[in-house]
Amino acid sequence: MGYSSSPAKGRQASAGRKDGGGNKGVRAERRPLCLTDLPDEVVLEILSCLDLRDAVRTSALSRAWRHRWRHLCFLDFTGCSLSAAQSVLLRHLSQVWGLALDACSPPLPEADHPRLDDLLGHLSHRHALESLTLQVPSYKLHSSIFSCDELVYLELKGCLLPDSTPGFLRLRNLRKLKMHYTVMLKPHLNSAQFDALAALITGCPRLRRLEITVDPNVLGVTLKIAAPHLRHLFIKTRSTHLMVEFQSLLPDLARARLRLPFFLYVQEGGRSFCIFYRAFHRWRSWSCLIVIPWFVSSQKVDFQAMVPFKIQTKFENLQYLTTDADLGDAAHIVFIFEFLRCCPNLRGLKIEFPVSRHGFHHHFEETQEFWNAHGYGDLFRCLRIMELIDVYLSYNELQFIKLVLSKAQVLENFTIVHRAENESSSLEACIEILKFKRVSQGAQIKYNVASAH
């Protein structure tokens, strides 16, 4: 035929032709790939995985890598000084889409706040900023940020919002807002600051995710939330005086994690508690609601009159609920029962002993009249999974377990994590639980022991 059909010989002949015919049959050796051969997008991906200092140091690798870091789109100045951040921004060549600045260690001096104002002003005017994270102690955010129409993500820790003026605090494209008020900010946390936060939330029509953490105890302050398109909500506060009021229904909300002083709501008669629950009226698409109330220590009170109101809204789609509660405290039991009456289709319930109350738990042995008055009805009609975590198995807690086992007709798994004082108390509690009647024949109890110390 005049040619070979062997693939190896064909490749060899081809190599010989590429060699100009001088060394036929000898395969031309290819030059190995070097760092200088990597595409720009791969180089930037590598640099984005490095600490900013290391990214700058790559300029020493070769001429081809020199100043490649100046094209990074996201700059993380965690652990860097403010002067270093300014120096990098002045030498940067491309658009900056995201910036993170952590100036808490060492603390940023008050004298450096104007320099930070200049840095944020430079970002807002020259870059299409989409993500901003600031962790700066006692820094009042510069107003230039609110001219960043492209901003999608904003996270502030230890920072304050500027004073609210009508229509000023507005970010039209913001999708996620995270605010963390630290203990250091306590002297500045007043109604004006929370009014500014409420104005910012209202001024973000596309807000989908809201996370608010308030560490210090604040007095006489109400946080008003109006975000009709919100899908994810997280609020955590240790303050027993911070009230949360929803001024709009949240029909799109898919998941919530709330750590609020519900106990205070009940103590003051339920007015604000009812305001809070009005926002639930149209939450029909929920598959999971996580509520973590932050309770305060209380004296012996009249539990029969603790909840002088009834919650009218039914959470028909609510299937899984997690809550902190001390079931040795009758006040918490009353709250749990009142909440469960609104969840007729609840399939999973998880109750954890509040971490803040470890080492301090006062228990009262309630009478049978108490359990009859508050444990009536089909509280656990659809309950399949029940978890009690870090309980001490006091008398009240054992009575709660007994009530669940006697009412949950379709219960499948009951997990108990007992924070036992010693082996003897653990054995006694286990024997007592096994004596309880189970209305569900398929109910399985999983009992675990955790150290009380």
3-class state of residue 309 by DSSP = coil
Distance CA 378, CA 408 (A): 8
Instruction: Identify the residue whose tokens are 């899984």.
Output: 320
Separation CA 154–CA 162 (nearest Å): 15
Residue 258 lies in a domain: no
Is 377 a member of any domain? yes
Examine residue 187 and state whether it is found in any structural domain, yes or no: no
* Cα–Cα dist 210/396, whole Å: 37
Q: Is the dihedral of CA 170, 204, 243, 141 positive or negative?
A: negative
> What residue numbers bound the domain in which 406 lies?
264-453
Q: How many domains does the chain have?
A: 1
Share in percent of the chain as helix, strand, coil (round to 5):
35, 20, 45
- 8 A C-beta contact, residue 128 and residue 95: yes
Bridge partners of residue 255, in order along the sequence: 232
Return the ∠ at Cα 133 (arms to 114 and 141), rounded to 5°.
35
Q: Return the amino acid letter for 323.
A: T
Torsion of CA 249, 250, 256, 261, to 10 degrees: -10
Domain membership of residue 277 (yes or no) is: yes
The per-residue DSSP string of 42-104 comes to HHHHHHHTS-HHHHHHGGGT-TTTTTGGGG-SEEE-TT--HHHHHHHHHH--S---EEEEE-T
The sign of the dihedral angle between the CA atoms of 414, 417, 421, 427 is positive
Residue type, 441: Q
* Cβ atoms of 411 and 405 closer than 8 Å: yes
- Alpha helices (runs of H) in 341-435, residue ranges in sequence order: 368-374, 395-407, 423-435
Q: Which residue has the tokens 């020199």?
A: 66
Alpha-carbon gap, residue 398 to 237, rounded angstroms: 30
Contact predicate 386/413, CB 8 Å: yes
Determine, yes or no, domain membership for 421. Answer: yes
The values of phi and psi at residue 25, to 5°, are 90, -5
| Count of positions (residues) in the chain | 453
In a domain, 356, yes or no: yes
CA dist 135 and 100 (Å) reads 8
- Render each residue's pLDDT in the chain as its tens digit; 453 residues: 343 344 444 444 444 444 445 555 445 566 555 666 666 667 666 666 666 666 666 666 666 676 666 667 777 777 776 777 777 777 766 777 888 888 764 555 555 578 888 888 877 877 788 999 998 888 889 888 888 889 999 999 999 999 877 667 889 999 999 999 999 899 989 999 999 999 999 999 999 999 999 999 888 788 888 998 988 888 888 776 777 787 877 777 767 777 766 555 555 554 555 445 555 544 544 455 555 554 444 444 444 444 444 555 666 767 778 777 788 877 778 878 888 888 888 888 988 887 655 444 445 677 888 888 888 888 899 999 999 999 888 888 999 999 999 999 999 999 999 988 788 888 888 899 999 999 999 999 999 998 765
**Which pTM value belongs to this model?**
0.66
Q: Is residue 354 part of a domain?
A: yes
Q: Helices 395-407 and 423-435 sit at what angle, rounded to 10 degrees?
A: 30
What stretch of H or E contains 113?
helix 113-126
Residue 213 lies in a domain: no
